[in-house]
Amino acid sequence: MRILFATHNQHKLREIQEILCNFPGTILCAKDLGMDQEVEENGTSFLENAEIKARALYNFAKSQGILEEDDLVMADDSGLSIEALSFGPGIYSARFLGVDTPYPEKNRRILAMMEESSSKSRMAYFSCAIVAIFADGKLLQTEARCTGEIAKEPGGEEGFGYDPIFYLPEYRKTAAELSREEKNKVSHRGKALRKMERMIQEEQEKRDSARFSKAGQEQSGKGKEAKAEHKPEKESGEKPEKEEDAEKGQEVVEKGQEAAREAKTKIDGRIDPSSEEKILVLSDNHRRLDYVEKVLRLHPDISMCIHLGDSEGEGEVQALLPKGCESYFVQGNNDFFSYLPKDVEVRIGKERCFLTHGHLYGVNFGLERLSEEARDRNCSMAFFGHTHKPCNKVVNGVHCINPGSISFPRQEDRRPCYSLLFLDQKGNLRVEMHKI
């Protein structure tokens, strides 16, 4: 499988290859395919421009006979929008002051315009729109943002474009001062590419399911014909050839049906249960295990445990879980020297869930950034800790849940708290908030 990316920008291509480092195939740019001409970007939005570029490369590859059956043609369009400049340069970011003007000069001009502006706001955001076209013409599209501020002066050598003047308060650095790993995690392009990666995977699963089902039906049809015409077994005990075909056809159709069921109900490697599951959600026990043990005695039948950070001893909590209990742990701000991931995405039933401790998204001051991150990741639910206060509400279309602290609660009644999720046979989740 190949990704044919419509760009001539080598900095961008390197960034794309780093972000999609787990992609099993090859990532090529337009120049690798012999397409040297630039495409006129005359759309009125980032998405329109991304589609224009993707279709141009798609049509070129098809006309040259180099578009393979499992190829994906992709393109992005991105830009910087600044509130004080009426959200410019926006879709004209690359052409601002002319395409041949060096970016250091563009950055100096923007800083000068900020000083001249009557607005005191320095809020800005990078946008990235991505379009992917399958070889059969099927189109997918998505967008993501990275919000920050315009710095007082340029800083950093790592990035390119407007990175030196784009300041990220949570890192206290400009985008050009971030490491590549840091930038790829928070950048507009990183978010959009990861969203697209998931969309492509889901589309591929649908296609595989349909292909298995079709193959099974075809073999089943052949099998039925063979069964209708089969002759008695030979004296040797061997089955007639057509009866063997019938059995093979039935075996293939069963495999196809099973693959279809798995593609429909797969939940990170496990299948939706035949009865309602109980899932325990904990956070912030800070090494104390007494209330963790008490909750587990109350609910010995849990099938999964989600811990949202600051366990300060993940192994100790793991050891208390029932045998065979699936678990997800994330790193909190007090989980020093931890190998745990800071963020996890997991599908539970019909919901795609974003798990994080929350300190990286400023949850003490509001849930806007958390909900924005969850939406950028195509997640409908966000689970977080850190505040030591229970929360169960919808913010910007994302269901945000904090179980509170099991050991050091900070809400008014100071009772240890946790959450339970119940997963039914149809993949629906319901949430219960509990106190001890």
* 157 and 175 fall within a common domain: yes
Contact between 429 and 292 (Cβ < 8 Å): no
Residue 161 annotated as lining a ligand binding site: yes
The 10 Å Cβ neighbour count of residue 224 is: 13
Residue 171 annotated as lining a ligand binding site: no
Measured distance CA(51)–CA(53) in Å, rounded: 5
pLDDT at 230: 58
Look up residue 378 and give its amino acid: N
Measured distance CA(193)–CA(182) in Å, rounded: 15
Catalytic (active-site) positions: 77
Token output for 340 = 């745990």
The verdict on residue 168 lying in a domain is yes
Residue 286 annotated as lining a ligand binding site: no
> At a CB cut-off of 8 Å and minimum separation 6, what does 278 contact?
299, 301, 302, 303, 420, 421, 422
The DSSP symbol for 273 reads: P
Look up residue 81 and give its amino acid: S
Contact between 239 and 231 (Cβ < 8 Å): no
* 343 and 394 fall within a common domain: yes
Contact between 76 and 141 (Cβ < 8 Å): no
- Residue that terminates a domain, selected from 247, 267, 287: 267
Domain count, the chain: 3
- Residue that terminates a domain, selected from 142, 157, 186: 186
Residue 183 annotated as lining a ligand binding site: yes
Q: Which residue has the tokens 């793991």?
A: 318
The verdict on residue 411 lying in a domain is yes
Measured distance CA(123)–CA(397) in Å, rounded: 23
Residue 187 annotated as lining a ligand binding site: no
The verdict on residue 197 lying in a domain is no
Look up residue 258 and give its amino acid: E
* 286 and 258 fall within a common domain: no
Enumerate the β-bridge partners of residue 142.
Answer: 130
Residue 339 annotated as lining a ligand binding site: no
The number of helices, as runs of H, and strands, as runs of E, in the chain is: 9, 20
Kindly report the three-state secondary structure assignment for every residue of 307-361.
Answer: ECCCCCCHHHHHHHCCCCCEEEECCCCCCCCCCCCCEEEEEECCEEEEEECCHHH
| pLDDT by 10-residue block (mean), the chain, 436 residues | 92 90 89 90 94 97 95 97 94 92 96 92 94 96 92 92 93 93 90 90 86 73 64 53 54 53 44 72 96 95 96 93 94 88 91 94 92 88 97 96 96 96 94 96
Look up the pTM and report it. Answer: 0.59
Measured distance CA(340)–CA(309) in Å, rounded: 9
CA distances from 53 to 8, 141, 387 (A): 11, 13, 45
* 383 and 295 fall within a common domain: yes
Angle of CA points 21, 26, 31, to nearest 5°? 115
List the end-to-end C-alpha distance of the chain, in Å, as a whole number.
53
Residue 79 annotated as lining a ligand binding site: no
* 175 and 77 fall within a common domain: yes
The verdict on residue 191 lying in a domain is no
The verdict on residue 257 lying in a domain is yes
* 410 and 281 fall within a common domain: yes
* 308 and 238 fall within a common domain: no
Q: Which residue has the tokens 């059995």?
A: 247
The 10 Å Cβ neighbour count of residue 345 is: 18
Measured distance CA(391)–CA(383) in Å, rounded: 10
* 233 and 331 fall within a common domain: no
> DSSP letter string over 93-144?
TTTTT-TTS-HHHHHHHHHHHHHH-S----EEEEEEEEEEEETTS-EEEEEE
Domain of 145, CATH number, reads 3.90.950.10
- Residue that terminates a domain, selected from 186, 220, 248: 186
**Rg (the chain; Cα; Å):** 27
The verdict on residue 281 lying in a domain is yes
* 102 and 142 fall within a common domain: yes
Angle of CA points 78, 83, 86, to nearest 5°? 85
Residue 162 annotated as lining a ligand binding site: yes
Closest CA to 103 of 16, 30, 9, 187: 9
* 35 and 174 fall within a common domain: yes
Domain of 394, CATH number, reads 3.60.21.10
* 34 and 117 fall within a common domain: yes
Measured distance CA(101)–CA(95) in Å, rounded: 9
| Residue range(s) defining the domain that contains residue 217 | 204-267
The verdict on residue 235 lying in a domain is yes
CA distances from 232 to 131, 178, 199, 237, 369 (A): 58, 75, 51, 10, 71
Contact between 175 and 168 (Cβ < 8 Å): yes
The verdict on residue 32 lying in a domain is yes
Measured distance CA(6)–CA(8) in Å, rounded: 7
* 138 and 237 fall within a common domain: no
